[in-house]
Amino acid sequence: MRILVTGAAGFIGATFVHRRLAAGDDHIIVVDKLTYAGNPANLTGLADDPATRERYRFIEADIADEPLMKELASECDAIVNFAAESHVDRSILEPTAFLHTGVMGVYSLLEAARSEHEKRGGAFRLLQVSTDEVYGPVSEGLSVESDRIRPTSPYSAAKAAGEHLVAASHETHGLDTIITRGANTYGPNQYPEKLIPLFITNALDDESLPMYGDGMQRRDWLFVADHADGIGVALDRGEAGAAYNIPGDGVERPNRAVTEAILEHLDKPWSLVRIVPDRPGHDRRYALDGSRLRGLGWEPRVTFEDGIALTVDWYAAHREWWEPIKSGDWHDYYQQQYAWRLEQSTDA
Ligand code: NAD
Ligand code: DAU
C-alpha cells in the first residue's frame, strides 16, 4: 500500500511507520509540521537504511495545507492521520492549535481523500486516529463504539469534532473512512509531558512527581506497538465507515499504581511523589471494549508489567533523546503548569 501518514514524527505515528516499513512492502510519505512534539529523531534511520530508503519520504508541512495534501494524496492509496495536538493540559492552557489541526487539518485531509475518491470511483481510504477520551469519563462498564461521545476537555472536544467530520464525509460523500479510538498509550519515544515519561524522567533526576488530585483516576494502559498494530489491522481489514476501540491489556490501574511501578523499577522513594491541585475537568476513568477489533484478529501482546519495565529502561538508557526536549520552551511550559501546583503540594 502507498500511505500518506500524517503526524508521524510524533510518538505513535513514528512507531506505526517503523513497524509498517519493517513488516511489509508499503511505501510511506510522512507529513509532519514538527511542532514542539514532532521530533525527526523518532524517524532516524528510515531515509538511509537500504531496506527502507526507497519506500520512505519525509515532508515538513501542515495538514491544513489542502493543495499540498491533495497533491500528496494523489500519489497514495490511503491516509492515516495521527497529526494532532495531543496533550490535555496544554489544551486547557491554550486550545487554538488543537482546533486548527483537529478541525481544519482533518477537513483538509478529508477534502484530499474526497478528490481521490471521486477520481478513482472509491478505492481510497482515510483512517482517523482518535481516542477513548471522546467517550468522556465512564463510571462503570466498558465503552462500545456505538456509545454517544461526550468529550470533556478542549483536547477531546477537538478530537470529537474531527470524528464528526470524518463520519459526515462517509455518510454524505460515501468516503471509505475508519476511526480508531485508542486507550492511554505509553512506551519509548513519548514526549515527556505525559504521565509515564514525565514521572520516569523526573524520577531519574530525583525531581518531584506532581500527582493530580487523589491519584485514583483509572486508565487502561496500551503499549505503543500494540496501538500501532491495532491501527494497522483496522486500516487493512476494517469495515468502511466503522469505528474501532483499541484497549490496553484489560487491567485498569489508578495513577498511584502506575507511579509505584515506575518508582519500584527505578528503586526510587515514594517521597518524590507530591499531591498537587487537580487538572480541571479531570476524567476519572476510561475503559474500552475491544471485541470489534479482536474480531479482525488483533490482540494486545504486551502486558503492563513488561511494557513499563521496557519503557523505564529505555528512558534510563536514552538521556540523549529526552534531555534536549526538557530544556528551552519546556521550562516555560513546566513553570506555567506546575510551579504554582508544586507550591501548594502536600505529601502523597
Ligand atoms: P504526539 O503529540 O507525540 O505527536 C503528534 C504529531 O503531530 C507531532 O509530530 C506533531 O508535530 C504533529 N502535528 C501536530 N499538528 C500538526 C499539523 N497541523 N500538521 C502536521 N503535523 C502536525 O502525539 P501521539 O501521542 O503520537 O498521538 C498521535 C495521535 O494519536 C493523536 O491524534 C492523538 O490524539 C491520538 N491518541 C494518542 C494517545 C496517547 O495516549 N498518546 C491515545 C489515543 C489516541
Ligand atoms: O486516553 C487516551 C489519551 O491519553 C490520549 O488521547 C491523549 O493524547 C493522551 O495525552 C492521554 O491523555 P491523558 O490525559 O489520560 O494522559 P496524561 O498522561 O496527560 O495523564 C494520565 C493520567 O495521569 C491522568 O489521570 C492525569 C494524570 N497526571 C498527568 C500528568 C501529566 C498526573 O497526575 N500528573 C501529571 O503531571
Q: Tell me if 307 CB under 6 Å of ligand 1.
A: no
Distance 9 CA to ligand 1 centre (A): 9
**Contact 130/181 with Cβ under 8 angstroms?**
yes
Among 348, 335, 332, residue whose Cα is nearest residue 36? 332
Q: pLDDT, tens digit, for every residue of 90-101?
A: 999 999 999 999
Query: Annotated catalytic, 132?
Result: yes
Query: Annotated catalytic, 133?
Result: yes
What pLDDT does 122 receive? Answer: 87
Q: Tell me if 33 CB under 6 Å of ligand 1.
A: yes
Active-site residue (options: 26, 133, 220, 249)? 133
Query: Annotated catalytic, 155?
Result: yes
Distance 39 CA to ligand 2 centre (A): 20
What are the residue ranges in the chain where pLDDT is below 50?
none
For atom 19 of ligand 2, which residue has the closest CA? 194
Helix (H, G, I), strand (E, B) or coil at 154: helix
Around Cβ 148, how many Cβ atoms within 10 Å? 8
**Contact 293/233 with Cβ under 8 angstroms?**
yes
Around Cβ 150, how many Cβ atoms within 10 Å? 13
Distance 88 CA to ligand 2 centre (A): 7
The grid coordinates of residue 315 equal 528512558
Residue 5 exposed, middle or buried by CB count within 10 Å (0-12, 13-18, 19+): buried
Nearest 5°: CA angle at 50, between 48 and 56? 65
Pairing of strands 218-219, 253-254: antiparallel
What pLDDT does 254 receive? Answer: 98
Distance 194 CA to ligand 2 centre (A): 6
